[in-house]
């Protein structure tokens, strides 16, 4: 570990580490890209578990150029693709699990994405669902289609969104995958490899659009789920979508604190200062394919970016 002391931390957020696929979202990271990221971070920065980094930030023991890597949702490729790379470089990460999708589940947005990817035809017609019609001859057209459909559904009520996603898959006549997400057995595997496991609700709702009772249940139950699977206390939480004031509100911050979590991450952009609210820690996304651009982006976060204090 590089010596020094810092009062700033960059928390990186990832979701998937996918195969190089012409239909993958341009914002998704492939294995080659992620390997370059981890190799670069391990060489030039101090990569810590999130809980250890926050402890160091609080007590003045955070090393210079400190980084914490986080993954949201609980995708299977986090274990099959990301974990071997992390282990190779001796780098820890924190994985936030939406527990309701373990063991064969699929998230609503992936229902849309996989339906569009697997559709056999030249045009996706969802006019009867009031979701539009889209050309689907080229990979770029399909990517644009599933991005637009996901955008239209994001802030629908959870019940209506689930109904529409099921209708999309049925209308496009596709068979959805059952292996996109982790199994329960994968969580102890992550822990045994020295990784940290946190909670991310059960069904990944936008907390701001569900009832307070449902929000509290999602938060509390996901903590209990992960603790029962890994056999240890869970201290870290990630807000679904994570935009302060839009995707979650102050009352949800209180719920997370009351549930017994010690820290929580949002998607507010920027690095984290010692004065940050530990229940609203900001994070940074990176997609760079070159090492110089990645290093430059990281350094800008430390020296030019405003600390994320939510």
What's 80's DSSP letter? I
Residue 1 has a pLDDT of 43
Backbone angles phi, psi at 236, to 5 degrees: -120, 140
Per-residue pLDDT of the chain (310 residues; tens, 9 = 90+): 444 446 789 999 999 999 878 898 888 899 999 999 999 999 999 999 999 999 999 888 899 899 999 999 999 999 999 999 999 999 999 999 999 999 999 999 999 999 999 999 999 999 999 999 999 999 999 999 999 999 999 888 889 999 999 999 999 999 999 999 999 999 999 999 999 999 999 999 999 999 999 999 999 999 999 999 999 999 999 999 999 999 999 999 999 999 999 999 999 988 898 889 999 999 998 877 788 888 888 888 777 655 444 3
Give me the residue spans of the domains in the chain: 8-103+180-303, 108-171
Domain 8-103+180-303 CATH superfamily: Glycoside hydrolase/deacetylase (3.20.20.370)
Report the predicted TM-score, pTM, of the whole model to 2 decimal places: 0.92
Contacting residues for 197 by C-beta, under 8 A, at least 6 apart = 94, 95, 97, 187, 190, 191, 226, 230, 234
Residue 304 has a pLDDT of 63
Provide the token pair at 280.
């609203």
Instruction: Please list the alpha-helical segments (H only) found in 63-200.
Output: 77, 83-89, 108-118, 139-153, 158-171, 186-192
Measured from the Cβ of residue 100, the count of other Cβ atoms closer than 10 Å reads: 20
Quick check: 233 and 256 in contact, CB under 8 A?
no
Backbone angles phi, psi at 253, to 5 degrees: -60, -45
Strand, coil or helix: what is 124?
A: strand
Q: Beta 8-14 vs 272-273: how paired, if at all? A: antiparallel
- The Cα-based distances of 282 to 3, 128, 184, 242 in angstroms read 24, 40, 28, 9
Provide the token pair at 211.
């009832």
Quick check: 200 and 97 in contact, CB under 8 A?
yes
């Amino acid at each position: 570990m590089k010596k020094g002391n810092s009062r700033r931390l960059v928390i990186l957020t990832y979701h998937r580490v996918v195969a190089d696929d012409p239909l993958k979202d341009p914002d998704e990271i492939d294995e080659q890209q992620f390997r370059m990221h981890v190799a670069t971070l391990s060489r030039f920065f101090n990569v810590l578990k999130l809980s250890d980094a926050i402890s160091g930030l609080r007590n003045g023991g955070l090393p210079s150029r400190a980084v914490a890597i986080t993954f949201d949702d609980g995708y299977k490729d986090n274990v099959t693709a990301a974990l071997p790379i992390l282990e190779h470089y001796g780098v820890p990460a924190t994985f936030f699990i939406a527990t309701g999708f373990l063991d064969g589940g699929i998230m609503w947005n992936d229902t849309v994405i996989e339906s569009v990817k697997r559709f056999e035809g030249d045009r996706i017609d969802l006019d009867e669902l009031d979701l539009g019609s889209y050309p689907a001859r080229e990979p770029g057209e399909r990517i644009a289609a599933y991005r637009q459909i996901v955008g239209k559904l994001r802030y629908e009520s959870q019940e209506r969104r689930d109904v529409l996603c099921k209708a999309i898959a049925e209308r496009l006549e596709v068979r959805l995958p059952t292996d996109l997400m982790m199994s329960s057995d994968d969580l102890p595997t992550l822990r045994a490899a020295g990784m940290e496991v946190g909670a991310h609700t059960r069904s990944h709702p936008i907390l701001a659009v569900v009832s307070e009772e449902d929000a509290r249940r999602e938060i509390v139950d996901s903590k209990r789920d992960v603790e029962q699977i890994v056999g240890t206390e869970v201290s870290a939480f990630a807000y679904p979508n994570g935009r302060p004031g839009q995707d979650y509100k102050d009352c949800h911050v209180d719920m997370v604190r009351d549930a017994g979590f010690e820290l929580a991450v949002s998607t507010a952009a920027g690095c984290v200062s010692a004065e940050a609210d530990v229940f609203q820690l900001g994070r940074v996304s990176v997609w760079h394919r070159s090492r110089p651009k990645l290093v430059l982006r990281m350094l800008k976060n430390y020296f030019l970016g405003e600390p994320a204090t939510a």
